[in-house]
Each structure stands twice: as C-alpha cells, then as structure tokens.
Structure 1
Amino acid sequence: MNNNKNISMFKWGINFIIPILCFLIPTTETFTPQIRSFFVITLFCIILIATENLPVFTISLMLPFMYLVFLKQDPSLVFKAWSLEVPWLILGGFILTIALKKSGLLKRLSYMIILLFGGTVRGILYGLLVIGIMTTLVVADATAKAVLMGTLVLGICDALEIKKGSRNATVLGLATFAAAMGPSFIFMVSTGFMTVSGILTAANYSVPTYLEYLLHMGAPQLLFCICTVVMIDILYKPEKLLRSKEFFKEELQKLGAFSSNEKKVLAISIGLVILLVSGSIHGILSGWVFMLVAIITMLPGINLVTPEDVKQVNFTFMMFVVGCLTIGVVSGPLGVGKFIADTVYPYITGSVNQLFAGVWSLGFLSNFILTPLAAYSTFTLPIAEMATQAGTNYLAVIYTFVSSLEQVIFPYEYAPVLLIYGYGLVSFKDFFKYHVIKVILNIAFISLIFIPFWNFIGLL
C-alpha cells in the first residue's frame, strides 16, 4: 500500500511540476501569455491522461472548461469539435457495431476470417495486414477505416473468447493499429497526402501522379508495414488458442443460413462501403455516412438496434475524443502552429541531412499539440520552400513529413488511433511501448530504406 501511495504521489508530482516549469518560461512577442497558458493547460491534461490520475470522463470535461475560463476563449470555438464529423462517426460506428453483434453477422464474419487465416492468432495477425491493405484501396479515410477494422477485430476477439488485456487481445489490438494506419500511405489515397497535394497544387507546385506516388512510396512503405506486424509478433508472441480450427468450422456450420437480420446488416454494410468509396462523387463526409447508417439500423421495419441497445455505446470515449480534438481546434486561432514553425525553422535549415531530420522531428513533435490536418496546413508550403532552397527534391522531404505525422506515442494525438484505442483491447502501457518502438523503427527506415531508395530511383 505504501508503494502504491508513493507511485501515486510521484505521478501527481509530475502532473504539476512540468506545467509549472512551462509557466515559468518568460513570455516574448511570439511566445505570448495566451500561448504559454495554452501549453500549461494542455500539458496538464495530457499528463493526466498518461498517468491516469483522474478518470477519462473528468479529463474530457476539464480540458474545454479550462480553455473557456483561463484562456477566455469563445464557447463557439471551444465546443467546435462537436460540429466536426469525428464524434458522430464514432457514435455511428458504435451503433453499427451493436447491429453487427446483435444480428450475429459479426460472429459469422469473424469465424470466416479466423478460418481463412489458419485458425491461429498469428495467422490473424498477418491476415489483418492483408485486410488493411485491401481496405485501403476502397476506404481512403483513415478514421472510417479505423472504425471498420476495430469493429472486425472486436468481433474476432468475441468469437475466440479473448479477454481484453490478455496477450492475444494485445496482439490483435496492436495489429489493428498497424493494419489500419500504415497501409494508407502505400497508395496515394490517404487523406493526409491528398491534403498536402491540394496545398501544393494551389501554390503551383507539381504533385505526383498515382503511379509516380506508388513508385516513390509503395515498396518501402509496404516493407515498413510488414516490419511493424513482425515487431508485434516478436514482442508479444501470440499464445496458442484453446480451440482448434475444427471447432470454428463446426460453429460456422451451426450458424446455418443467413438470418433475416444478418441480411439486413449485410446490405446496410455494403451500402456503407459504397458510400465511403464514392465520397468524391456525392460529397458526403464519412462521419455523416456512418450517422446515416446508424439511423437506418433503428428505423421501423429494420429494428436492428433499439433504444435499450444504445445504452451500450461508450459515451465516455466519445467525450474523450471530443476533448482531444479540442486541443487542435483551439490551438489554431491562438497561433500555436505559427509559433512552433517560427521556433523550429532556424534549426531545420542547413545540410540536406539536417533538413530531413528537422522536418521529421517537426512533424513528430507537432502531433503533440496540433491535429495532423492543422500540421499539414501550417507546414507543407514552408517545408516545400525550404527543400527547394536547399536544392533537394521537395516531394521526398514532404513524404518524410507525412510519414512523421503517422508516428504517435499517445492515443490522443490522432483521431483514428484514438478510435482503435477506445475498443479497450490494448493497455496504455502496451500502446506506449509498441508506438515508441515503432517511432524508432520509422526513424531507421527513413534513414536506411526510404532515402537510399529515393536516391536509387532518382527522386533525390
């Protein structure tokens, strides 16, 4: 008990000391009192999340409250995150998951996937990467993909009776991160690079075609994705399942023909994918598509989800996501991005190696404060200009920047990562451990694989 008390005191000490040290930094013309207060409040809440000193729901309420009171920000800005698509995508995703589970379709699909990949956790681990790559071709939005992959893996865990927090749950949970995130950058379909492409085009910079991008990024990014999955296999060594492949064959046969409710959910799910794939045609954002699907599951005549079922939705997690999004929303008008840029740029310029290292560091560090979209908007053009002035290919430097923004070590940094973490399959300790090692792996890949490869194909 004394040991636990000491640990608790140590965590609370960290929680207050770091923000206080930040508050003691003198303000300047660029590091304004408001920006300093923003960092103090944000650091305090981020450390609360990391140390788990307070319940998640409490932190989710505390963050916007502190921005309102201490930064004196307008409520329309502080609560703007609720008007974004992400919270509603989460709600729609949770409701669709309920429909999938309740109808039995999720169990059927899970059995089929388990059998397809050999009936072992290791087989599913590598199989999920294959599914992630295939899904990327039709679902470009990372957040939508995170919901789909997370729902699928949750169903697999239910089918295998894998308890949350177990080694196998950790393996499959981490595999979901690897399968949902990394493959998005193999093809020129990721929301991140498409945002960058739009910014460059608007500034009269040429951008790669789909095939050129595939040549530049396809092979090294695919190798990186494979290594992230191998890393999970080595670190956590999946445990052997108590049930054999034959058991799942028998269970699948017991399910018999598709029930009426399964057919309804299957039709709705196919419609969902079609709407997600055709987003460029109809212009409806993924979040609103998921909400539409959720509404359909509850309509008279469909009746897949009842008001009683909705009580299963994890509204605490939804609040947590909104709280995290609020960090990025509030940082923009305060000029936090510009302050970071002005502070970091003098240390980035120099040799080509210094440029690549500095740009990677800029992307990685900006994730702690800015949303990836805000980082793309803030830094893309200055990075392209610096690369041009340094006499190197700006596309290679931009690719490095995009790759760095995928590297996170806290769940709050990136909405799709936060979504998957919310399924509760992976503890914070294992999440942190895996992603820190993945960060190191990415640095090694950029230095030893990506840059030499770009030199080999003539990009550099």
Structure 2
Amino acid sequence: MLRITHLKWLLSLLIPAGAYFAVQTAVQADPSLNPHLPMFFAITLWAITVWATDILPAVPSAAAMTFLYLLCNVAPAPVIFGAWGAFLPWICFGALILSEALEQTGLTRRLALQLMHLVGATFTRIVVSLMTVGMFMAFLLPDIMCRVIIFVAIAHGLVMALELDPKSRISSAIIMAGFCSATSPGYGFLTGTEMSLIAMDQIKSIITIPTWGEYALANLPFIILYCCFSIFMCVKIIPGKEHIPHEDHLKEVVAERLRDMGPMTTQEWKLLILMICAITGLLTSKWHGLNGYFLYALIAI
C-alpha cells in the first residue's frame, strides 16, 4: 500500500513536469503563445492528477490550485477569483448546505416515507413517481443543480428509511432514480436546464430562437422516451435480482416508521419553510428583480 501511495505522488509530480517542459518547448517555438501557458498546464495537471489518484481531498487541492495560479503569476487576481462573482459556485455551496440540513434534521427521511405512503410502497411505483415529479419540477425550476440536490436527497432518505445496505445494488438503483428524475426531463423544456438557456443565448445571432412551445414540441417526445428508458434502467438493470426487503408488506412497514417518527419537529418545519422560500425566490426572480441564484444561496446559508 505504501508503494502505491509513493507511485501516486510520483505521478502527480512527473505528469505536470512533463507537461511544463513540453508546452515550454512549444512556447519557445511560437512567440505568439502566452508565456504563462507552461505553468498553467503544470498546475492544472497537478490538480487533476491529485484528484484522479485520490492522494489529497478535492477541496484543499482545488484551493491550492487557485492560489498557485496567483503565486506563479499565471493570471491577474481579478481573473483568478472572478469565478466567485458568478452564481454557480454559490448556488452549489447553498445546495450542499441544504442537502446537509435535510439529512441532519431527518426531513428527507420523512419526505421519502410520505412519498411511498402516497404512491404505494413498491419500488416501481416509487421510481415512476419520482420521474413524474421530476418532469413537473423541470417545467417549473430551471436550475438542474437544485433539482439534483432535492431529488438525490429524497432518494437518500428512501435508502435510510428502508434501512438498506448503502453498498447494495438496490440502494444504487434508488439513488440513480433520484438523479435521473432530476436530470432526464430537463432537456425537454427550453427552461429545463441552464445549459439550454446558455446555448440559445449563444446561437441567437445565427438562427431564430424557438419559442418555449416549439422547443418542447421538438424535444419533449424524445425526452419522454429517454425518461422511460431511465425508469427501465433503474427498475430492471441496476438492481439485478435484488429486491427491497419486506416488499410484500412494505406499506405496513412505511406506516409504522412514519408513526415512529412522530409529528414534524420545529427544525423540520423551519427547514421546509426555508426550502420553499429558496425555490420560490428562484422562480420569481423576474418579478422581485433580485438574482434568484444568489437569493437561493443566501437563504441556504
């Protein structure tokens, strides 16, 4: 094990060094290239190698990469730290905070049990209901990151509520069902993902941008087929021969565990209200005039 770790550290140094000298040679041959390119490639490849070999956690190595850019004068500080002025890092930060709060308060477990109680306690019905709600959420909420956090948190709550082995195939199928429910329906709507909005904005000078209805008419039939395949994959392929324990009388098990949880606590009510406010802030940004993404992150914090 020690030798493998040494090899990983060696790779994390040799690969960036090799890239540095290779790019340096190219820069010397072509003076029009940016002289800071060799150091940029070396630092970036170091971080990627460290992540790939898992010798350092992602957060400190990413932070180190950022400060190395600054210390080695790869680019001016406003350029290096300019990304923090965009919404994406902050909405990811806010979504992770909400995800942690959902788990700590037990609200995801309660929401998962309530979902099973409403739609019927079978694995297939759970997956279909998640995808149906995902289609509705893609229609309303254009931020795919927020949808992923919400749906994967509910799927995680299902795994906890059913006391499944986290490493089992059935647990993987439930988590994948949450992820697919958040992502698969998105490309059927013009406002289903940020990527669609960005793409339409980029090509508006070349072609006529389709209306919301035209976009849905062209894409939604294929996306529905994709959602159906996602359901089939989560129900039939990923679980293999595994089944949810006590599936024959799962309805009684769900009802019993809901009773054991008792009424919603003050913390759960507070978190539920905050989540509703955060999502409402995103959906109504064109009316209140504030940046919905930053508002979401602020409420989460």
| Secondary structure of the structure 2 residue equivalent to 1:137 | helix
Are the aligned partners of 2:39 and 2:74 in contact in 1 as well (CA < 8 Å)?
no
| Alpha-carbon distance between aligned partners in 2 of 1:18 and 1:103, rounded to the nearest angstrom | 44
- Superposition deviation, residue 180 in structure 1: 2.1
- Superposition deviation, residue 69 in structure 1: 2.3
Aligned AA for 1:199? Q
- Superposition deviation, residue 161 in structure 1: 2.7
Could you tell me which residue of structure 1 aligns to residue 203 of structure 2? 200
Could you tell me which residue of structure 2 aligns to residue 278 of structure 1? 284
Aligned AA for 1:246? E
Are the aligned partners of 1:141 and 1:286 in contact in 2 as well (CA < 8 Å)?
no
Q: How does 1:380-391 map to 2 (within 5 A)?
A: none
- Superposition deviation, residue 260 in structure 1: 4.8
| Secondary structure of the structure 2 residue equivalent to 1:72 | coil
Q: Which has the higher contact order (CA 8 A, sep 6+)?
A: 1
Q: Deviations over 1:90-128 (max 9, x none)?
A: 443344345545555433211022334543555434443
Moved more, 46-55 or 227-236: 227-236
- Superposition deviation, residue 212 in structure 1: 1.5
Residues 236 and 16 of structure 1, relative CA distance in 2, 3 Å threshold: farther
1:287 to 278, 287, 293: 293
Could you tell me which residue of structure 2 aligns to residue 79 of structure 1? 81
Q: How does 1:55-454 map to 2 (within 5 A)?
A: 55-97=57-99, 99-101=101-103, 104-116=106-118, 118-121=120-123, 123-189=125-191, 190-201=193-204, 203=205, 205-232=207-234, 233-237=236-240, 239-243=242-246, 244-294=250-300
Could you tell me which residue of structure 2 aligns to residue 449 of structure 1? none
| Alpha-carbon distance between aligned partners in 1 of 2:155 and 2:115, rounded to the nearest angstrom | 10
Aligned AA for 1:51? T
Residues 149 and 279 of structure 1, relative CA distance in 2, 3 Å threshold: farther
- Superposition deviation, residue 171 in structure 1: 2.5
- Superposition deviation, residue 290 in structure 1: 2.5
- Structure 2 stretches lacking a partner, 5+ long: none
Q: Deviations over 1:139-185 (max 9, x none)?
A: 10122222222332232233223454443443233333322223211
CA RMSD, aligned part only?
A: 3.1
Aligned AA for 2:150? L
Equivalenced residues, count: 291
Aligned sequence identity (%)? 26
**Is 1:54 matched with 2:56?**
yes
Could you tell me which residue of structure 1 aligns to residue 19 of structure 2? 22
| Alpha-carbon distance between aligned partners in 2 of 1:262 and 1:212, rounded to the nearest angstrom | 41
| Secondary structure of the structure 1 residue equivalent to 2:140 | coil
